[in-house]
A and B are shown apart, each in its own frame.
Chain A
Amino acid sequence: MGVAIAIVRMKDLLAVVMLLGIYSLLSASFFVAMDAVDVAFTEAAVGAGISTLLMLVAITMTGRTEHPTRHKPLLALAVVIVTGSLLIYGTLDMPYFGSAEAPIHQHVAPRYINDSMQEIGVPNIVTSVLASYRAFDTFGEVVVIFTAGMGVLALLSVVRRPRDNEKIDSYNKSMHEQHLILRIVTKMMIPFILLFAFYVQFHGDFGPGGGFQAGVIFASAILLYAMLFGMNTARRVINQSLIQLLAATGVLLYGSIGVVSLLNGKEFFDYSVLSADPVAGQHLGILLIELGVGITVASVMVIIFFNFADRRDYSASKENKDL
């Protein structure tokens, strides 16, 4: 709560970004204390990792301090207080937080908990609910992430002139001395980070994990490389059109699983038609859609970062025409 108050009151945006990272980490530890480890993992990876990084890149473009507001919005404060108190009054009749008679624990949740192991056969119930029982909602999440990437591409993409390769190499050599330790340690760490991303992706059936966390960790390895070795080198290593193709491929893979189920006579996203044994079909379906989720999330994060950095380079190079 103190962190939230500090975030609202402070004017220095760099400190606010750091505080947001701390807030995400504290939220992740709450979730662990409440036994929701999948959610905690996603919150820690996205909130304390990628989100902090993307906001830092954003404030390099917008400037570091918040503009002072000139008027006190008292009318807005009154509206918020009235609406908030009405909402709290509306919840007074509901059952207590976590009580056993709440409707959420009566109808759907016992069915999922009781039948998940026979019908789907993966030990992690969160994955089975996310990927099989509620696959349509997860499809909506993936499409939202894809749309965010498309929005960034539509608004912020800049057509780039092809850079001179020798100038890039000489620039890299001159910067190598200054960042020597960081570059060497990063070169050692990046393969392990990528390997861990694959582990999280395919281990989501048995422990916390799955496509979202794995995509974020994979993207953060690529962003680490881009930060330390320069954007020009990173653009030569990571082809931009390939990444955009991959983002679309992930969503397409996810949607086509649903269409294949339709074409085989069952409902949308019913995986039992994918193989002779229905449980094996469920496993195959979960594997493929988590792969689609991971591919899309990783590609969209990389797209967003590269376009932010492109925009910053573009506006910085409009003043001075150097590398």
Chain B
Amino acid sequence: MDTLVQISSSVLLLIGSFLCISGGVGILRFPDFYTRMHAVGVTETLATSMILVGLILHNPDFLVDVKLVIILLMTLFISPTASHALANAAIHNDLATEKNQKSDNANNDEVKPSNP
């Protein structure tokens, strides 16, 4: 039982780190602001949650576990909201997508050139 907990916590930590790195690779490789936001917003939340759950399993002390659970809940609230805030600000300021023809916002009626 104990080794199972240790192995699962190590696996979760490794998966979390891999997701973090892949989010970083996504920022560098994706062509456009919105796709980059999507890459980092999704992977970052999941990576942080997995790292935190791995740390919870690794740690026998109760008080530290309570604090880690609170951090996990806060992250699940705050991280998607931050991604939403960024993407909303971009839409509101008419940042166009990769294809210059139209952007997704229905309120737009003019086209600006995109600078990736």
Answer yes or no: do A and B interact.
yes
CB of A189 within 8 A of CB of B77, answer yes
Residue B74 lies at the interface, judged by CB distance under 8 Å to chain A:
yes
Stretch at the interface among B1-9, B52-60, B78-86: B78-86
CB of A182 within 8 A of CB of B74, answer no
Q: Which residues of B contact A181 (CB under 8 A)?
A: 81, 84, 88
State which residues 62-109 of B face A: CB under 8 Å: 74, 77-78, 81, 84-85, 88, 92
Bound state CA distance, A188 and B81, in angstroms?
Answer: 12
Shortest B44–chain A CB gap in Å is 15
CB of A192 within 8 A of CB of B92, answer no
Q: Which residues of A contact B77 (CB under 8 A)?
A: 185, 188-189
State which residues 52-107 of A face B: CB under 8 Å: none
User: Which residue on chain B has the smallest CB distance to residue A182?
Assistant: B85
Bound state CA distance, A175 and B57, in angstroms?
Answer: 43
Residue A174 lies at the interface, judged by CB distance under 8 Å to chain B:
no
Q: Which residues of B contact A178 (CB under 8 A)?
A: 88, 92
Shortest B23–chain A CB gap in Å is 16
CB of B74 within 8 A of CB of A192, answer yes
Q: Which residues of A contact B84 (CB under 8 A)?
A: 181-182
Q: Which residues of A contact B92 (CB under 8 A)?
A: 178
Shortest B74–chain A CB gap in Å is 7
State which residues 173-188 of A face B: CB under 8 Å: 178-179, 181-182, 185, 188
Total number of A residues with any Cβ neighbor in B under 8 Å:
8
Q: Which residues of B contact A179 (CB under 8 A)?
A: 88
The B interface is mostly helix, strand or loop, or mixed, namely: helix
Bound state CA distance, A182 and B78, in angstroms?
Answer: 10
User: Which residue on chain B has the smallest CB distance to residue A184?
Assistant: B81
Q: Which residues of B contact A192 (CB under 8 A)?
A: 74
Shortest A193–chain B CB gap in Å is 9
Shortest A52–chain B CB gap in Å is 14
Bound state CA distance, A117 and B102, in angstroms?
Answer: 68
Shortest B77–chain A CB gap in Å is 6
Convert A249-278 into 0s and 1s, putting 1 for each residue whose CB lies closer than 8 angstroms to a CB of B.
000000000000000000000000000000
Shortest B92–chain A CB gap in Å is 7
User: Which residue on chain B has the smallest CB distance to residue A185?
Assistant: B81
Shortest A24–chain B CB gap in Å is 18
Q: Which residues of B contact A189 (CB under 8 A)?
A: 74, 77-78
Bound state CA distance, A50 and B74, in angstroms?
Answer: 19
State which residues 116-140 of A face B: CB under 8 Å: none
User: Which residue on chain B has the smallest CB distance to residue A179?
Assistant: B88
User: Which residue on chain A has the smallest CB distance to residue B84?
Assistant: A181
Q: Which residues of A contact B81 (CB under 8 A)?
A: 181-182, 185
Q: Which residues of B contact A188 (CB under 8 A)?
A: 77
Bound state CA distance, A188 and B76, in angstroms?
Answer: 13
Q: Which residues of A contact B74 (CB under 8 A)?
A: 189, 192
Convert A154-186 into 0s and 1s, putting 1 for each residue whose CB lies closer than 8 angstroms to a CB of B.
000000000000000000000000110110010
Q: A185-B81, A188-B77 are in contact. List 16 more A-B contacts (CB 8 A).
A: A178-B88, A178-B92, A179-B88, A181-B81, A181-B84, A181-B88, A182-B81, A182-B84, A182-B85, A182-B88, A185-B77, A185-B78, A189-B74, A189-B77, A189-B78, A192-B74
Residues of B within 8 A of A (CB): 74, 77-78, 81, 84-85, 88, 92
Give 4 closest A-B pairs by Cβ, nearest first: A185-B81, A181-B84, A182-B85, A185-B77
